[in-house]
A = this chain, B = another copy of it.
């Protein structure tokens, strides 16, 4: 590895510069796996005051963890906004750099460190998921020195053909920006460029750091200019250089769109707001809340929009809407509406009940980060960052006429059942609703859990993480590691509760050991129903290929806990509904003061109603 050289007083190493930039953007945790091309950079991480290293068990898991960290950080930023005045400017929390203040409030950012070839290519799926679901993660790859690269050396961790740029190809379609550091004089600029791109597009970016660049001297003065200029807002379009004339143009366009929407709003009998993923990702939840409060309309969320605003009925909340698979009582009310304002919508199959929205385009307004749709009209460059506050002022109150019944996923409504039998999915998820507390971070694996949680009311200040679009099974276990570390940065303690299946957790189980090692305290709920239930419901109900191996979940924490000073752990087993009730009411379990596993035995083909419906819809679509 290249040795640190002498630095002038006004210089920092490039590696430190990168870490300082991350710290300015409120990144406190760097996830990854050591490898011989990132070890000297890791020396700088180990010495850094504000960025900590989180050594994961493998790179895919580390990428999931970085994603989970960014999502929870973003949710927490949204909650900070919740406490702000409606007229406060976005981006205001961004401090001047060079100081220890962070450029927080901008975007929840995650960071991942891997090594050339073997490491980076193990993380492709995790980064693709962040791209699909709009989570900014900076993927830093330690690579061979520029000198070795130029000599086309036949190094290990290469294809043996002297090529060093081939791996970057894997990241082309799934990152918003890539920098392959080759020239010393532009290295710092390139770092800033990809970080800015990740922040403004809410998508992952890729950066290689050659071993001989780690100790390049860089002027400290650069750090005084923040990555995101203070004068601009959140949105990519906003940070483009804009003169006065363009601003006036923008104002005119904005006012036009406000007028168009006001006209429709005026005529509507019962408008509603449907909050979706990008409202969370682009940090406009507080603006939606202001609009909803000002206009007194009911709002609903999609699966990906859960917990964007506090899901409290007094707040105007009406329930989860997922087209055909919606709770019938909620569905009826939503579909009565004659004007649907969708905020940050992401209309993927699982987020829309397999594309089953019944709305006519004449009834629809869509607010996005970079454009607006009003009926059939498309308005580029009209962003919800500016439009939402304008609408909150312009639109007249339209209190809801129809009210969804209060038991439609809004409060716990637990069906009766035999206490001595296995708990049914239909009862389990409402029971979870009773168990959850204010501020909880909840993670639900794609499958039984992500569909089941639709029937679980979420308390005030809670966060729900679920990969509804990308749907990579195994994601949530390592994402929980990231969520735990993000939650520790919240002003108040937050419990972190993971719901996963006995099939899904097997893909990424080793990250539970990392939680043990760092003394973290999740509640890990394993729904043990003996196989890939979601696949069985789509196809192959009794096929052997949907079976998996059986593990002793009660032994997991013990297996992963061999350090000389073992961490306190507790494993619980609920064979019956009665046992589950007792555990959920147990003060020790509720306290979440140690890492805990709760294994819940469930019937093989018992599934949440929403998943049964989705399975049928998926099978139909695939067959069409």
Contacts and interface: CB of A to CB of B under 8 A. Distances in A.
A121 B118 contact: no
B349 A548 contact: no
Interface in A107-131: 117-118, 121-122, 124-125, 128-129, 131
Nearest to A473: B118
A549 B560 contact: yes
A359 interface: no
A27 to B, nearest CB: 17
Nearest to A41: B545
Contact of A163 (B129, B173, B624): B173
Interface string A26-56: 0000000111110110110110000001010
A346 interface: yes
A39 B535 contact: yes
Interface string A168-179: 011011100000
Interface stretch (A93-101, A144-152, A311-319): A144-152
Interface in A521-566: 532, 535, 538-540, 543-552, 555-556, 558-564
Interface in A464-516: 468-474, 506-510, 513-514, 516
Contact of A58 (B158, B347, B474, B552): B474
A2 B545 contact: no
B58 A348 contact: no
Given A36-B535, A348-B156, A45 B545 contact: yes
A377 interface: no
A154 B348 contact: yes
Given A60-B122, A535-B36, A166 B157 contact: no
A587 interface: no
A18 to B, nearest CB: 16
Contacts of A386: none
A431 B216 CA distance: 47
A159 B145 contact: no
B551 A2 contact: no
Contacts of A474: 58
Contacts of A508: 58
A550 B513 CA distance: 8
Contact of A539 (B36, B154, B157): B36
A257 to B, nearest CB: 24
A428 to B, nearest CB: 21
Nearest to A134: B160
Interface string A284-307: 000000000000000000000000
Nearest to A563: B550
A350 interface: yes
A623 interface: yes
A43 B545 CA distance: 8
- Residue of A46, A473, A558 with highest tally of chain B CB at under 10 A: A473
A180 interface: no
A538 B156 CA distance: 14
Residue of A125, A154, A564 with highest tally of chain B CB at under 10 A = A125
A122 B125 contact: yes
A460 interface: no
A116 to B, nearest CB: 11
A244 interface: no
A132 interface: yes
A285 B230 CA distance: 67
Most B CB within 10 A of own CB, among A55, A122, A129, A552: A122
A196 to B, nearest CB: 21
A446 B153 CA distance: 19
A60 B60 contact: yes
Contact of A563 (B35, B468, B517, B549): B549
A184 interface: no
A211 interface: yes
A170 to B, nearest CB: 4
A540 B39 contact: yes
Most buried by B among A129, A160, A347, A555: A160
A349 B153 contact: yes
Contacts of A2: 622-623
Contacts of A552: 558-562
A109 to B, nearest CB: 20
B540 A42 contact: yes
A545 B34 CA distance: 7
11 contacts: A1-B619, A1-B622, A34-B532, A42-B543, A42-B545, A117-B128, A154-B347, A157-B472, A159-B173, A169-B173, A516-B549
4 pairs of A and B residues whose beta carbons are closest in the complex? A166-B173, A517-B549, A121-B125, A118-B472
Given A34-B540, A46-B543, 20 more contacts: A1-B622, A3-B623, A36-B538, A36-B618, A39-B538, A43-B543, A58-B508, A60-B60, A118-B470, A122-B124, A124-B125, A153-B621, A154-B349, A156-B348, A157-B471, A166-B173, A517-B548, A550-B561, A552-B561, A555-B555
